[in-house]
Structures are given as C-alpha cells and as structure tokens.
Amino acid sequence: VSEGLRRDLARLIGAESVVAESGHRPYRHDATIQRGLVGEPDAVVRPADARAVAKTLRWCYEHEVALVPRGGGTGLAGGAVPVGGGVVVSLERLRRVRMLDPGLWRMSVEAGVRTADVARLARENGLMFAPDPGGAEQSQIGGNVATNAGGPHAFKYGRTGAFVSGLEVALAPGELARLGRAGRRDASGYDLPGLLVGSEGTLGIVTAVDLHLVPAPPLARALVVWARDIEDAQRALLNILASGVQPAVLDFIDVRAFAAASTTFPGRARRGPLLLVEVDGGGADVERALRELAESLSGNGPPASEEVDARALWRWRDGMNGAVSAVRGGKVSEDICVPPERLAQTLAGVYEIGEELALPSCAWGHAGDGIVHATFMIDPSDPDDPERGRRAGECALALALRMGGSVTGEHGVGWVKRELLATQWDAATLAAQERVKLAFDPKGLLNPGKKRPPAPDGRRGPRASQEQRRQRAAGAPNQTPGETVSSKRRR
C-alpha cells in the first residue's frame, strides 16, 4: 500500500519530490536514536516549495493520512520520528533567503535554511540571531521555530520565538497562511505565530520565517567560575543573578560531565563544577559587568575564576553532548527545568537516581534559566542498560515536577516526554491544550501522538480513538520513552 501512496504523492508534487523507499533510513529517527527510538515512514516527501507543502497537506487531509513534519532531525524529543508511520514532510529543499534588510534588522528565510546559516548571514551583516542550539549546523530554522529552540544565549536574548515577527504556514486542511505583518508588531487577533512557535509540527507546517534580528554586540568576553562543590556553584549562581548584571550566557557543567570533555577544554582545567558566564556589549559596559560579577563572587571565600576565549569556549561547549555520549556509547538525557535556587537539590536527586539504577549520571545546562540536562550514560549494547536508562529518565522527569519545574525546558515534548504531561498540568490546562490542537487540526493528522499526553480512551477529541488505532497498529500503545518502535503499514 505504501507504494500506492508514494505513487499518488509523486503524481501530486512530482516524482523527484518523493524519496524512494531505499532512501527512507535517515528519516526514520532524530537525535533520540541514541535511546533507540526509530519509526517507519509510509512515505517521505521533499516538497520543492511552500505551495507543494500545502498541496501535500491538503491531499493527506482529504485521504486521512498522518503527516510528520521534519527539519534537520536534531530534535531530542522524537518529534520528527514517524513512530506511527505516515508521510514525513521534509522541509530540506525550502532553502531560499527571501529577504535580507540589514538596515531594518530583518530577514525572511524559508523553513529549510540551516540555523548556523541564519546566524552566519546575520553576523556577516552586523546583526545577531542569538538562539544557538547545539545541533545548529544541521537543524533548520523551521525546526527551531517548531521547538522554540534556545541554547546558551537564550538566557539574555530569548528563545527562537523572541526573534519571530511572522510566519508562513501550511494549515489544515491545506492552505498557506501568512501570520504576522511586515511591521514589527501586530496586535490584531490572537497571537497565532505565538501558538505555532513551539508547537512541534502538531498545528501546522512552517514554510517560511520572518525574523527580527538584533544588532550584534561589539564585544563578548567569557569567564569560567570554578566552584568547590555543587552547593558552592549554586551560591555563585544566585549571587550572579542577584548582582543585577545581565550575562548573555549563564551555564553550568558538573564535575562528571566536565571529566568527559576535559582534555579539549580551552582553558586551564581544574577540579570542581563550573559556571560559564559570558557578558557582551560595548567595551566599557563589558568591563563594568565583569567588575560587578567579580564583586558578586567575592564574598565568603570566592570560587576561582578565569577568562577564556569566548569563541573557543562555545566551540568546546558544543561538543559536550558528543563527549558525554562517547563515555559509554549512549545516554538518556532529559532537559528538565527547575527553579535556579533548586539546582543543587536537583543535581543531588539526579545522582541518587543514577546510583539506584546503577548508571553513571551527570548534568550540565543553562543554569540561569534553570535548565538541567539530567543525563544517564548507557551502553546501548547492554541487555539491561536501555531499559534502566528509560526508567532513570522517567525518574528525572518526576524529580523536575517535585522541584516545582517542568519536564522540558527547551527540547519539547515530542514523543518521549508525553507520559508525565497530565501530571504537570491541571485539568483546565489540559482541556485548553486539547482545544487548541482541535482548532488547528480537527482530524488529528498533524504529527499524531506528539506534544500531548497519551489518550487513555477515545473520549479526548474526535480523533483520539483513530490515533490510538494507529499507535496500536504500530505496536506503540504501551510504548514508553526509549523503546524501539517498529511500525507496520496501515493504509
């Protein structure tokens, strides 16, 4: 039946836009492959332009076929994984820069432009696109919008949504809509771009993004603050926050994560958890900020600090994910978000979970925003490790909720974080979330099963039972984060 589906799609948007079955492999997973999450698409399309995206959506809506939008596949929540089959709609060919106006700090790019290219283009024109998620050379601006991606510099400048002034989106049942106006503000109607940002492909398919950039700061300097232990790191963090200085970055790395990447550290490696702090702006502002930071850290036996070349530091920091993965060959990492004043308590909880499940654990993240990458290192070839990793991940999500935080601070819910959503939200929030989904996607065909709690029965929305049937057909109803899904054909 997949063959018939691919033939229909080839007739619709051209044979060159439909990937042969032999080429499906890269589209079966995203960066959650490390924890074993793999799906099986019924078809993969690479539409040539926005109109072809809308046409595909219209056809799928008419024929009740699920769609899974896909950007660069760097997601860490399984959002782009076709766990229940369906048509993967890859935006990779939408690569045009439609407009760049440095004088007005504006850029309009198609969804498939890579994040690093957006940032480079901005930089070359004296501007800055600050969101810098670790997979930026591969991730796409559409994927960044769909996950509201952050990264270290989001602490000062905000996540992707803070840079979005308008969107072009394919909406059900298959229309292209322009959300937002050419001006920088639009107070008319509900904030539809705001709803699409972070919607993880469940409300529409982003085809182009209007960005409002900021002037690039002339100078950025980075400081590494070495703490004696995690309580000391917590104190330093709170002192920095209380100092009134607005760092561009305020990240932390614990001793165990640092150990995985210490050999390539661009400064003088010491022992102890560390905070990475960057301040940016004009020369005098940066000098003053560094002075004030030093003062804020000076009381009560100051932690050691040293300046490190900012670019070298962020290059090194980008490799943290890979370095930690390399220790045992794999890892389960949850991007929980907790109040910053509970950082030390949260880390103690992460280590306890690791000990209980006999898995080495570590953590790093965007401390200023309270984002902790709670990580458990696994050997994917071990018969027990993946399952213990999955359980450790679940315990970390529960820990975040006990700390008054969220199961996800930046990677999104996707497929792997659905289970505890109903615990995090109250009934009214849950109902409001479901109503938003139904308003945009009444047939439940846009990235089914993602971003929302698993439906316990068929009563949660008109398509819930169909969705359950799809998931059952895919062998996925009892699937928990980390399990491998092998999908069957349904059409």
Ligand X SMILES: Cc1cc2nc3c(=O)[nH]c(=O)nc-3n(C[C@H](O)[C@H](O)[C@H](O)COP(=O)(O)OP(=O)(O)OC[C@H]3O[C@@H](n4cnc5c(N)ncnc54)[C@H](O)[C@@H]3O)c2cc1C
Q: How far is CA 80 from the centre of its chain?
A: 11
From the list 141-149, 271-279, 399-407, 430-438, the region that binds ligand X by CB under 6 A is: 141-149
Nearest position to ligand X, beta carbon: 143
Binding mask 266-305 for ligand X (x = CB under 6 A): ----------------------------------------
Report the residue number, 66 or 76, with the smaller CB distance to ligand X. 76
Smallest distance, Å, CB 356 to ligand X? 27
Report in angstroms how near the CB of residue 291 gets to ligand X at its nearest. 29
Q: Considering the complex, state which of residue 357 and residue 474 has its C-beta at the smaller distance from ligand X.
A: 474
Residues numbered 4-43 forming contacts with ligand X, rule: CB under 6 A: 30-31
CA distances from 111 to 36, 108, 188, 201 (A): 27, 10, 24, 12
Contact string (CB under 6 A) for ligand X, positions 60-89, x = contact: --------xxxxxxxxx--xx---------
Nearer to ligand X among residue 68 and residue 213 (C-beta)? 68
Residue in 54, 128, 164, 205 binding ligand X, rule: CB under 6 A: 205
- The nearer residue to ligand X, 414 or 481, going by C-beta atoms, is 414
Least separation in angstroms between residue 450's CB and ligand X is: 6
- Residue from 410, 441, 467, 483 in contact with ligand X (CB under 6 A): 410
For the chain, give the secondary structure using H, E and C: CHHHHHHHHHHHHCHHHECCHHHCHHHHCCHHHHHCCCCCCCEEECCCCHHHHHHHHHHHHHHCCCEEEECCCCCCCCCCCCCCCCEEEECCCCCCEEEEEHHHCEEEEECCCEHHHHHHHHHHCCEECCCCCCCCCCCEHHHHHHHCCCCCCHHHHCCHHHHEEEEEEEECCCEEEEECCCCCCCCCCCCHHHHHCCCCCCCCEEEEEEEECEECCCEEEEEEEECCCHHHHHHHHHHHHHCCCCCCEEEEECHHHHHHHHHHCCCCCCCCCEEEEEEEECHHHHHHHHHHHHHHCCCCCCCEEEEECHHHHHHHHHCHHHHHHHHHCEEEEEEEECCHHHHHHHHHHHHHHHHHCCCCEEEEECHHHCEEEEEEEECCCCCCHHHHHHHHHHHHHHHHHHCCCECCCCCCCCCCCCCCHHHHCCHHHHHHHHHHHHHHCCCCCECCCCCCCCCCCCCCCCCHHHHHHHHHHCCCCCCCCCCCCCCCCCC
Residue of 256, 411, 417, 460 that binds ligand X (CB under 6 A):
411
Neighbours of 20 (CB within 10 A): 9
The span of 175-183, 201-209, 336-344, 346-354 binding ligand X (CB under 6 A) equals 201-209
For ligand X, the closer CB: 200 or 483: 200
Q: Does 321 bind ligand X (CB under 6 A)?
A: yes
Q: Which of 43, 206, 362, 455 binds ligand X (CB under 6 A)?
A: 206
Which residue shows structure tokens 């809506």?
Answer: 61
Q: CB–CB of 191/181 below 8 Å?
A: no
Neighbours of 386 (CB within 10 A): 21
**Judged by CB, which is closer to ligand X: 139, or 346?**
139
Q: For residue 291, how many C-alpha atoms fall within 13 Å in the half-sphere facing its CB?
A: 6
| Binding status of residue 142 toward ligand X by CB under 6 A | yes
# chain residues binding ligand X, by CB under 6 A: 38
Task: State which of residues 32, 56, 108, 147 lies at the interface with ligand X (CB under 6 A).
Answer: 147
Q: Does 140 bind ligand X (CB under 6 A)?
A: yes
- The answer to whether 196 touches 206, Cβ cutoff 8 Å, is yes
Work out which of 32, 144, 333, 408 binds ligand X, going by CB under 6 A. Answer: 144
Nearer to ligand X, 237 or 289 (CB): 237
Which lies closer to ligand X via its Cβ, residue 86 or residue 303?
A: 86
Q: Which is nearer to ligand X, 147 or 296 (CB)?
A: 147
Q: Using CA atoms, how far apart are residues 196 and 4, in angstroms rounded to an integer?
A: 32
Stretch that binds ligand X, among 130-138, 218-226, 433-441, 481-489 (CB under 6 A): 130-138
Selected from 47, 84, 135, 454, the binder of ligand X by CB under 6 A is 135
User: Cβ 219 to ligand X, closest distance in Å?
Assistant: 23
Least distance from ligand X to the Cβ atom of residue 30, Å? 4
Of 140 and 424, nearer to ligand X (C-beta) is: 140
Q: How far is the CB of 392 from ligand X (least distance, A)?
A: 19
**List of residues contacting ligand X (CB under 6 A):** 30-31, 68-76, 79-80, 91, 111, 133-135, 139-140, 142-144, 146-147, 149-151, 200-201, 205-206, 321, 410-411, 414, 447, 450
